[in-house]
Each structure stands twice: as C-alpha cells, then as structure tokens.
Chains A and B, each alone.
Chain A
Amino acid sequence: MATVNEKQRTTGLKTSAFTKTVVRGKAAVRIMEKRKGERVFNGSDKIRNRMKSVRNIQKITKAMKMVAASKLRGVQTKTENSRGLWQPFVALLGDGFSVDVKKNVVITVSSDKGLCGGINSTSVKVSKALTRVYSGPEKETKYVVLGEKGKAQLVRDSKNRIELTISELQKNPLNYTQVAVLADDILKNVEFDALRIVFNKFHSVVSFPPTVSTILSPEIVEKESEAGGRLGDLDLYEIEGGETKSEVLQNLSEFQFSCVLFNAVLENGCSELGARMSAMDSSSKNAGEMLDRLTLTYNRTRQASITTELIEIISGASALEG
C-alpha cells in the first residue's frame, strides 16, 4: 500500500497528465462515434449538396458545348459552300435595301431551341426596328417567322401582323429542296412588294451580326429599273427564254428568294450553334468559379466545426480534473 501511495506521490504529475490524455482520447472517440452514427448539424452538408448540383451543371453545360461544337463543324462547311449562291443575284439586281415599297414582309429567321445566347433577341429587335423604319402612311409590314423562339417574342406585341410561322426547321439536316418547298409556301400565301429576310450571318464562333437581305417582287423590279438608280441598267440586259420579260422576272424573283432563304437559314443555324457554344462555355466557367467558392466555404465550415468540437472536448477534459 505504501509503495503504491509513494508511486502515486512521486509520479503525481505524470499520472495526471496521462489521465488527461486518456480522458481526452476517450471523449474524442465518443464524439467520433457520435459523428459516424448521427448527423451533427453544422451546415456543411447543405454546402456539400449545393456543390454536387453545381458540379452536375458544369458537366452538363460542358457536354452541351461539345455537342454544339461538333454540330457546328458540319453545318459550317455547308454554309460556306452556299455563300456563292446569292452573290450573282446581288451582282445583277443590287441590294434592294433602300427601296421604299408599300407592302413589306419581314421574314425573321430564329431558332427552335433555347440556351443559345442573345441571337434570337437581336433578330427580333432588328425586325421590329425594320418595321418602324418602313412604317408610314399606306404602308404595312407583316411578319413571317421561322422558328419557335422568334415566334414567342413577336407574338407578344405583334400578334396580328404575323402571317405565317414555321417551326422544326432544323430537325433534319437542311437541303435545298426543303427550303425551296418552304419558299414556295411563303410565296403562295403572302402578298408582298418586298421581302426582307432578317438573320444572323455567321462570321466566326464569336461574331454573328444581324443581316437583312431584300428580295423585290417582279413588279417593283420593273418599276425600279424604269425609274433608274441602282437597278437602272436592268433594262440593258436582254432577256432570253420565256415568253415575256415579266414571266422571266417572276421566275427570277422566286429563284432568288429560295436561294437567299437557303443561305439565310444555314447561316442562322451556324450562328445559333456558335452562340450556344459560347453561352455554354461561359456557363461552365461560371459553374467552375462557383464551385471553387463553395469548396472554400465548405472547408472553412468543416474546419470550424472540428475546432469547435475539439474545444468542447478540451474544456470538458480540463473541467473534469478541476
């Protein structure tokens, strides 16, 4: 007994230090067990959930960007090949942009699917501005909308001016025959003096300015060529084929319409894919930044909660020994 007491007296400090660590260790194990079994509510799991969803968004937008990039490669070659199509018409007839007519029909080319940046809004803005520019007494402007997104925006304030809407244009890969049938449809149903096609011309993946191509009806072409001006030399051209000049001019104008529309729809498709690429790219970049910020917050919260528990343990242990 005496030896044990002696031992206790001589090794007093050491024993109590040892006891402290033992007590601390036991308490820590208890806390660890508690954390494994029950949820310790400290807000870090909320952040963990947010991080998971943001990471998924980042993956999805990255995938969408890849898909748009691969589709763009295919459509871009087609578009560039079709660019020679409208040049002969412009070389012959000039650009009918400034020609003032009574009945204007604005054909807005837009996309069916969303998530493509601002291209549909710019097209619609330009179409509305064109309506204002060409407005005046005795003049009327009507719309023909290609694509769902343009329709959704124009229906809001110009519902009674929309003659025709066409959607699901890009469902199958575009070819000339399809567009020719479409052009035929539009020509049959719409009366016009001038057709203005508004679309986004594809310059590069980051640049797609809105462009307006004009097609004048054959009567206006005749009138303008008699009046002189840019179309004045049209009279100098001999007409071969067909019975009358007006018949040839009508065929010419319809052919011009289908060619220009083909090019316009292809260019707009390219621009849509390019815009979607850049929109998804910036979206995944933003998601990445958000993820970084959330990771920092998560680590901070986690470390804070560990520190709090350690403090609890230590203060509990030091309270035990008095």
Chain B
Amino acid sequence: MRATAADGARLRVTAGSRPASQAFSTEVTEAPAVDSSFLEAWKKAAPNIDPPKTPLAFMKPRPPTPSSIPSKLTLNFVLPYQSEISNKEVDMAIIPATTGQMGVLPGHVATIAELKPGVLSVHEGNEVTKYFVSSGFAFIHANSYADIVAVEAVSLDRIDPSLVQKGLADFTQKLNSAVTDLEKAEAQVGVEVHSALNAALTG
C-alpha cells in the first residue's frame, strides 16, 4: 500500500513538473509518430530527458490511396516564405517539369518531378491561375495529393517585360564572355530563367 501511494505521489510530481511539451498534437493519430524501438533506445541512453519530437508528430496524416479515382486533385503549393495554396481541391495542374509541361489530373500515377523555370497553371472549374515558378520539386502521390515545393513563384502580371528583355540580353552577353566554369554556369542559369520568363509572357 505504501509503495503504490509513493508511486502515485511521484507520478503526480513528475506530471506537474513536466512542461507543456506533452500536451499538444491532439489532431494527429499516435500510430506513426515515433518508433517504439527508437523510444527504447532513447530511454536507455538518456532516461532523464524527454525524447525530442519529430516532424511526423506535427503533420496531419495523409489519407491512404482510395480504391477509385477521386474527382479532384488536392493541391499544396508551398514557397519558403508562404504557403501559396494549401489543401485546395482543383481539377488539374500543369507543372513545368524538366522533361516538359506535365499535366496532372486526379488519379495520376505517383511521380517525383524536378521542375525547371516555367509557368505553373492551376485549373479550377473555369478559372485558371498562373504562376511563374523558378524551380523546385513536385511530388504527386497515389492518393491524388500533389505537393509542389518551389523556391520562388510570382503571378504573371507582376513581371515587367522590359526588365525581362534586358536581363536576357545581359545574361546572353555574360555567357559569351564567361571564362570560368562557375561564371558559365551562372550565366547559363540566368539565360534559362530569362528565356522562360520571356516565353511565359508571350505564350
């Protein structure tokens, strides 16, 4: 009896003194959060410290692949400083992959695509939103979820055509006069981006 009372007291003490690090993530299921084998290894190595959190604990779990093709594509378009589109249901997205413009519809096969500078257009019903994307990656999952991660994206109406022409001329000249490999690579990148910008504005 005395042992259990003391245990109870100790439990109460630790529950009170532990800070709020254990009180969160009520919206996430516990199952994939932390591996039990890792937890055990942690407890052996550092029994007094709370195990650290991992990113999975902070993310909403994604639905599994449905048996029939869903009608809409759920799109996530993120940039380093903003989540441009998050969990929006759209009909189609055309992404500028390095192998060319790729159209993504619901039920698309799972793909990892590297992006090149170009235009991303999102089709929802009758409206089309176009962004110029600098580069990044696009993941299309089997459950009709598409994640596009880009370094920079601007909507097309914010691009100044005269600056684009000037930049293109500048970088072409730099490419011709480049000496070292690094300069050549930089100039090449500049030319690529600016010609894509040009194409985006005219196309």
Residues of A that sit less than 8 Å from B by CB: 78, 81-92, 94-95, 97-98, 125-126, 128-130, 132-133, 135, 175-176, 180, 198, 201, 203-204, 206-207, 209-214, 230, 233, 236-242, 248, 251-252, 255, 259, 262
Contact = CB atoms under 8 A, between A and B. Distances in A.
Contacts of B56: 90, 94-95, 97
Interface in B53-108: 53-56, 58-59, 62, 76, 78-83, 86, 97-99, 102
Most buried by A among B113, B136, B148, B149: B149
Contacts of B19: 206-207
B112 interface: yes
Given A133-B45, A203-B20, A82 B55 contact: no
A85 B149 contact: yes
Contacts of A125: 46, 49
A17 to B, nearest CB: 68
Contacts of A211: 52-55, 58
B20 A132 contact: no
Contacts of A130: 52
Contacts of B145: 91
Contacts of B136: 255
Given A176-B151, A207-B20, 17 more contacts: A84-B78, A87-B78, A91-B59, A95-B55, A97-B38, A133-B44, A176-B81, A201-B53, A204-B20, A206-B19, A209-B21, A209-B50, A211-B58, A237-B112, A238-B110, A238-B111, A241-B98
B97 A240 contact: yes
B34 interface: yes
Contact of B46 (A81, A132, A248, A262): A132
B49 A86 contact: no
Given A97-B34, A126-B49, A242 B110 contact: no
B97 A241 contact: yes
Contacts of B110: 233, 236-238
A28 B83 CA distance: 79
A91 B24 contact: no
Interface of B: 19-21, 24, 32, 34-35, 37-38, 41-42, 44-46, 49-50, 52-56, 58-59, 62, 76, 78-83, 86, 97-99, 102, 109-116, 136-137, 139, 141-142, 145, 147-149, 151
Contacts of A201: 53, 58
Given A132-B46, A133-B41, A242 B141 contact: no
A224 to B, nearest CB: 13
Most buried by A among B34, B97, B141: B141
B53 A209 contact: yes
Given A86-B55, A132-B45, A133-B42, A240 B99 contact: yes
A255 B145 CA distance: 20
Contacts of B86: 84
8 contacts: A81-B82, A97-B38, A129-B42, A129-B46, A213-B55, A237-B111, A248-B114, A252-B114
A213 B52 CA distance: 10
B52 A209 contact: yes
A92 B147 contact: yes
A167 B55 CA distance: 25
A318 B113 CA distance: 104
Nearest to B46: A129
Nearest to A235: B110
A104 to B, nearest CB: 13
Given A82-B81, A92-B147, A129-B42, A241 B53 contact: no
Most buried by A among B37, B139, B148: B139
Contacts of B114: 240-242, 248, 251-252
A242 B81 contact: no
Contacts of A207: 19-21, 24
Contacts of B20: 203-204, 206-207
A203 B32 CA distance: 21
